[in-house]
Amino acid sequence: MARGWESKSVEDQQAQAVQDLDKKRERLNPEQIAKKKQLEGIILSRANVARQLDSARNPRHRQMLTDALAELDRRIAALQIAA
């Protein structure tokens, strides 16, 4: 009998945790979701460009990558301000 009660208590705790998590999540409208996805994509692009810059040896290529990083940083800042 005690085992059944213990099991039920765990189920209740798990259900409560899921409900609490749902309450904590922000409710985003479609525009906010699109901006969030765009920001995540730009951040991934920035990480890729930074990784390429670490291994680049040609000065012109390094300059191009540095310029790209600056542009990506500008776009990230603009999206964060708009959010």
pLDDT tens digits for range 9-65: 777 777 787 777 666 666 778 888 899 999 999 999 999 999 999 999 999 999 999
Q: pTM for this structure?
A: 0.65
Of the chain, the end-to-end C-alpha distance in Å amounts to: 53
Tell me the three state secondary structure of residue 26.
Answer: coil
What integer pLDDT is reported at residue 83 of this predicted model? 66
**Section 72-76 average pLDDT:** 96
Counting beta carbons within 10 angstroms of the beta carbon of residue 34, is it exposed (0 to 12), middle (13 to 18) or buried (19 or more)? exposed
Helix (H) or strand (E) run with residue 8 in it: helix 2-24
Mean pLDDT on 60-76: 97
C-alpha 42/C-alpha 36 separation (Å) is 10
